[in-house]
Amino acid sequence: AGFTPDGAGASSSLVDGGFVAPSSDFAGSLAVRISGGGGGSFASAGTVAHRPAFQVDALDTTGCGDVFHGAYAVALAQGMPLPERVRFASAVAALKATRRGVLSAIPRRNEVDAFLREVRERFFNHIRDERSDVAAATGEFTGFDIRY
């Protein structure tokens, strides 16, 4: 497991179940904890959230933590919001795990973007199919707004 702090003097501490929470000594601190294939947790402004790992067929996980941290730094430098940074870094690490090697296995940005589009499309297709099943079963339209 690793920690990725943001900002000067940021500090984190482990709490129940290995989740991460900002230390009470540092107002506004942020922490991100990764736990391999189980995903990771992130905490900011008193809120703790979990990000499940992307499901991939892993061939080689060597360096995935380092790749996650590097991708997180890129996302931070690009100004992505925290949940998007964690999602992006998780996607980069997941794709790396599908390849043998370390440096040569790091995916290019266009591959990561395509992977995230594919995941999003599968998610929305699944929701659309579920809505269709509910509508067919009940005879009612079940419209709802989902933000991904």
Active site residues: 66
- By three-state DSSP, how is residue 41 classified? strand
Q: Which two tokens stand for residue 45?
A: 């402004």
Number of DSSP helices (H) and strands (E) in the chain, helices first:
3, 6
- Contact in structure between 29 and 12 (CB atoms under 8 Å): yes
Contacting residues for 87 by C-beta, under 8 A, at least 6 apart: 51, 116
- Contact in structure between 26 and 11 (CB atoms under 8 Å): yes
- Contact in structure between 20 and 3 (CB atoms under 8 Å): yes
Q: 141: how many CB neighbours lie within 10 A of its CB?
A: 8
